[in-house]
Amino acid sequence: MEIIKMSEAHRDEVKRMSEVFYSSAAVAHEVPAEYIERNINEALGENPYFTGYVLMEEDSPAGFSYVSEYYETEVGGMCAMIIDLYVDEKYRGRGFGTRLFEFVFKEYSHAKRFRLEVERNNTSAIALYRKLGFEELGYMQMIKED
pLDDT 10s digits, 111-127: 999 999 998 888 989 99
Q: Name the H helices within the chain.
A: 11-22, 33-44, 96-107, 123-131
DSSP state of 103: H
Boundaries of domain holding 78: 2-131
Is residue 64, in this structure, part of any structural domain at all?
A: yes
Q: What is the pTM of this model?
A: 0.93
Whether 29 has a pLDDT exceeding 90, the answer reads no
Q: Given phi > 0 = left and psi -120 to 50 = alpha, else beta, which region is 30?
A: beta
Q: Is 121 within the bounds of a domain?
A: yes
What region does 65 belong to: left with phi over 0, alpha with psi -120 to 50, or beta? beta
Q: Is residue 76 in some structural domain?
A: yes
CA–CA distance, 63 with 60 (Å, rounded to integer)? 9
pLDDT for 141 equals 85
Question: At 95, which CATH number?
Answer: 3.40.630.30
Split into its structural domains, the chain has a count of: 1
